[in-house]
Amino acid sequence: MKVQNKIIVVTGGGSGMGRELVLHLLAKEARVVTIDINENALQETIALAGTKKDSLKTFVVNITDRAAIEKLLNDAVAAFGFVDGIINNAGIIQPFIKVNELGYDAIERVMNINFYGTLYMVKTFLPHLLTRPEAHVVNISSMGGFLPVPGQSIYGASKAAVKLLTEGLNSELTNTNVKVTVVFPGAVNTNITKNSGLNVPQHTSKTESKSTMKTLSPVKAARIIIAGMENNSYRVLVGKDAKFMDAIYRFNPAYAAGFIYKKMKALLGE
């Protein structure tokens, strides 16, 4: 679905990849509704929209609040008349600790934001999207949604749930006007750690510095994702690391898991 003149709703548009998705959509002549839990961040996105700000509407919404998401649909339709697509981008990571040490409050927070927030958006907007001549759902999973990352096992489980939800939707909507894309970003240079309320241990050993994967800019990530949406792609791998690990994991899952463990073990103090 080409995004020009379409109405797209983006979650997590106050910073990082979400903000760049909003700005790229505006540059391609889409009109955008975006939400975030941080009002100041949304104001910064509006400022960056410049001359395109009249094509942007923002709302402070907690995506774990189902009633608020249901109201968002009404607000979006009131603002622009209809909605043609949604991009479920908002998400957080967990503390970099093992499942055995992770409290249920952190587990529930990750699952509520990453999975249930996405599910609420899909369930709320899908009936409306099915009435449009063409429409699109983009759900952002993660490289960690198909590959185990130690210290991020619950985050990975939430993103694996997003992966299978999205692929299931794709099959269920085969004979409809709604296309569905699942996105697997690798390492993208965003402030997700800060937004997740976390402090990541700093390690400066030569071994770790050599093993750290290069991050992709959120600008480039946003362009790749929107291109996937416009091409009605089934799945989109964002970044060389995501493509590389996808290939390795398909060939030898155990080797791929061991490879990532070696990259990440320093964050677990091992």
pLDDT of residue 177: 98
User: What is the structure's pLDDT at 203?
Assistant: 41
Active-site residues: which are they? 155
Q: E-strand spans in the chain? A: 7-11, 31-36, 56-60, 85-88, 135-140, 178-185, 235-238
Query: Could you tell me if residue 198 is inside a domain?
Result: yes
CATH number at residue 92: 3.40.50.720
Whether 101 maps to a domain, the answer reads: yes
Q: Following CA atoms 238, 155, 42, 57 in sequence, which dihedral angle do they give, to the nearest 10 degrees?
A: 70
Alpha carbons 68 and 61: distance in angstroms, whole number: 6
Mean pLDDT for the chain?
92
Q: In the prediction, which pLDDT does 56 show?
A: 98
- 1 is a domain residue: no
Q: Is residue 149 part of a domain?
A: yes
- Classified as helix, coil or strand, 238 is strand
pLDDT at 174 over 70: yes
- Which is more confident, 215 or 205? 215
> What's the domain count of the chain?
1
Q: Is the pLDDT assigned to residue 160 strictly greater than 50?
A: yes
In a domain, 34, yes or no: yes
> Residue 172's domain spans which residues?
7-268
b/e code 236-248 from CB counts within 10 Å (16+ = b): bbbbebbebbbeb
Indicate whether 61 pLDDT > 90.
yes
How far apart are the C-alpha atoms of 205 and 269, rounded to whole Å?
12
- pLDDT per residue as tens digits for the range 3-43: 999 999 999 999 999 999 999 999 999 999 999 999 999 99
Beta strands of 132-191 (E only): which ranges? Answer: 135-140, 178-185
**Which residues sit opposite 8 in a β-bridge?**
32, 85
3-state secondary structure of 136: strand
Average pLDDT over residues 76-95: 97
Distances (CA, A) of 50 to 23, 44, 74, 142, 177: 10, 10, 26, 31, 33
Asked, for residue 195, whether it belongs to a domain, the answer is: yes
pTM given for the model: 0.92
Is 2 a domain residue? no
| Euclidean distance between CA atoms 70 and 89, whole angstroms | 17
